[in-house]
Structures are given as structure tokens and as C-alpha cells.
Amino acid sequence: MSERKPRVLVTREVFDETLDYLRRHCEVVENQKDVPYAPEALAVALADCEGLMCALTDKVDAELLAHAPQLKAVANIAVGYNNIDVPACTARGVMATNTPGVLDDSTADLAWALMLGTARRITEVERRIRAGEWTGWRLKQWLGIDVHHATLGIVGMGRIGQAIARRALGFDMKVVYHNRKRIAPELERKCNAAYLSLDELLSQSDFVVLQVPYTPDTHHLIGAAQLKKMKPSAILINSTRGGVVDDAALVAALTDGTIRGAGLDVYENEPKLHPDFLKLDNVVLAPHIGSSTEATRKAMAMLAAQNLVDALQGRTPPNLVNPDVRK
């Protein structure tokens, strides 16, 4: 008689190879129709499962865990895990994992796309071309600002922040950063980056890129007071998590010229966003696609699956975010 496979729930559509891998090790309840679970339906579906493979759109909290007495592991298909109540998981003996590393370069590329697109007003001028407003070349037409030789300020100098900084070397930029702790001197040299306080960074930078996780400590890290410390010519890039920026304050700053522009991939209350963003020409908007390349999303899904299988087979997953659960 073959050994019983653990039952796992996959909450969103994933790649065929990810499901094939999971099915070799688990009994899989999949959702390839990609219809998001309502909280009540998720609780019912998870009731008899030992594993959960979820997305950042799925809220895993104490209430959900109370409906899943057999649950042993939660595998998030994301590097951030603010959708998961990690202390609640630890209290119930549930391992929680994420997918760091595999998305660093793709996310850094997207931050640069927002930076370049905002600096050169790409989405604005494309809209104008499509509307038939381009009637010929003019010397002072739709002027942008230079990225090369500008000062780049990075708030959050983890793996993705460092990848963003390394790309700045090719643009001959001055790079400054703020972090909870200074990074090692050898990493500063590799990134050609100098440490500053947050206020100093905001006041000196031509481009401010946010790359911090969303936590209670980083909620509205950038609000009206911080935006006023930036140069009027500066551009803000948020490619990390919604809630790090006070979106209402940012709309006001973009409207009254406190800063020049913004490039955004994330928002408070997404997929809803502040409706006034849609009225502004000086903001580039993307729909949370920082890691959205085929190769990267496949790697994220497979890493999440491997984390889940490791946990269910009694091994410590390499990307365990609550190691105290193993004590």
C-alpha cells in the first residue's frame, strides 16, 4: 500500500510544472481557474489540508488558522509576507515560508523602468501620441530630466536595493542609501553607495526609490512631511509595497508641485488605487508587476512548492520566516 500523501491547497493559478512537482509529493487541490477565494471559502477549503500554497492576495491570520487544525506549512509565492500573521503561525506550530532571491533582478529592472519612464514622461507622451496631439518636433516639447549623473537615493538596501544600486553604475549616478543598519563596507564599495539618514537622503536625491518591506514600522514611511523634504525636481519610485507611502499625501504632492513625479507599481488597498492618480500626467502607473517575467514567476512558484514539500516531509525549508516554530 502506498504511503498517504499530504493534502495541500494551491489558492491561485500556477504553472503546469509547479503542479506536476507538487502532485509527485502531495494530494493537490488546485485553483487553475484563478478565482480568488473569499475568506469564508478559503477557510472551508483549507479545513482538511496540511499545506497551503498562497499568494500575497490571501490573508492568513489567526481566524483562518483556527479553521485549519491539520495545517503544518504555509508557502507564500512572494518575498514579502505581510499577508501572513507570522506570530499566529508560530503559535500554532505552522511553518511559514517566502520566495526571496529569485525575483531580485526582475524587481530591480522594474524599478529602473519606472525611474526612466517617469523621468522621460514615457506614458504621458504615448497617451498624447495616441490622442493625435503630436504635430511635429519642437525644441521645448515634453521636456524630461536626466537620469545619468543624478543622485539616486535608495531606502532599503537589501538584495533588491543593492541590485538597483549596481545598475546605477552604468548611469554614472551618485548613490546614497538609508537602511535600518548600515550594510557591510564591502557591499557599500560594490554598490558605490554612501549611507545617509532618511532626511538627508530625501533632501539630496533626484530619485528616491523605496525598497522596504511593509510592516507597522514602515506604514506611511513616506507621508506629507517626508515629501516636503524632497527636491521639487525629484521623482519618487515605489516598487516595494503599498502602504509604505501615504497615497493621499502623494497625490497632493504631485498635484501642487511639491515633487516632480512618481513611478508606482504598488498602492494602498490594491487593486483599488486613489482615483486622483488617474487624473495626473506626472505619475507612471504599473499593476504590481515587479517580479512579472515568465522566468521569474516560474522560479517563484517552484521555490514555494519546494518550500512546502520540504516542510511537509519534515525538513526545515530554506526560506523559513519563523524559525522559532522548529524549537
Please spell the DSSP secondary structure of 176-229, one letter per residue.
Answer: EEE-SSPPPHHHHHHHTEEE--HHHHHHH-SEEEE-----TTTTTSB-HHHHHH
Tell me the catalytic residues.
Answer: 241, 270, 288
**Grid cell digits, residue 128:** 498624447
Tally of CB atoms within 10 A around 287: 12
pLDDT tens track for 118-175: 999 999 999 999 999 999 999 999 999 999 999 999 999 999 999 999 999 999 999 9
Q: What is the pLDDT of residues 2-27, one digit of tens each?
A: 578 999 999 999 999 999 999 999 99
pLDDT digits (tens, 9 = 90+) for 276-321: 999 999 999 999 999 999 999 999 999 999 999 999 999 999 999 9
* Domains of the chain with CATH codes: 7-102+294-326 (3.40.50.720), 104-285 (3.40.50.720)
Query: pLDDT band at residue 244, thresholds of 50, 70 and 90?
Result: very high
The one-letter code for the residue type at 29 is: V
CB neighbour burial string for 22-46, b if at least 16 within 10 angstroms, e if fewer: beebbebbbbeeeeebeeeebbebb
- Give the residue-averaged pLDDT of 39-49: 97
